[in-house]
């Protein structure tokens, strides 16, 4: 009886952490990057840029960059805020904060902290926009 009560309290004290990021969950290929100021559109498929979301962390990667970049994110209806980028670099340590935006720019992220407007988010398509950029993704 005592064991049963202890088991009940032990299970009740645990908090279940889920990895669901809602409709963001999954692997997204950046297909086009549009400059709203110049009207120029860049096909990003040859660069292999991909974003993936799980829980409160997103990962960005590219064929052009050796290391993964991890960012925290917040998604609220039509707003996606990405911030606190870290580079996974085993030579320098697991989590190295990014100090410049060079690598982020290649991945479609213009600043260390960026707020995107979510223009479209479905099971297959995501369109994000800032004042100067529009990013179009396809979900895998």
Contact 127, 134 (CB under 8 A): yes
Whole-number Cα distances in Å, 68 to 56, 81, 87, 130: 16, 19, 6, 23
Tell me the pLDDT tens digit for each residue of 33-46: 999 999 999 999 99
List of the chain residues with pLDDT < 70: 1-20, 92-93
Nearest alpha-carbon partner for 119 in 27, 34, 26:
34
pTM, 2 dp: 0.82
């Amino acid at each position: 009886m005592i064991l049963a009560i202890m088991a009940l309290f032990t299970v009740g004290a645990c908090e279940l952490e889920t990895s669901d990021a809602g409709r963001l969950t999954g692997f997204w290929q950046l297909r086009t990057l549009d400059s709203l100021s110049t009207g120029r559109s860049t096909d990003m498929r040859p660069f292999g840029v991909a974003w993936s979301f799980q829980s409160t962390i997103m990962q960005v990667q590219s064929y052009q960059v050796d290391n993964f970049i991890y960012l925290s994110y917040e998604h609220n209806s039509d707003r996606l805020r990405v911030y606190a980028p870290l580079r996974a670099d085993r030579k320098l340590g697991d989590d190295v904060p990014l100090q410049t935006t060079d690598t982020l720019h290649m991945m479609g992220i213009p600043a260390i902290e960026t707020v995107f407007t979510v223009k479209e988010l479905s099971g297959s398509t995501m369109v994000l926009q800032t004042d100067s950029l529009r990013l179009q993704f396809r979900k895998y």
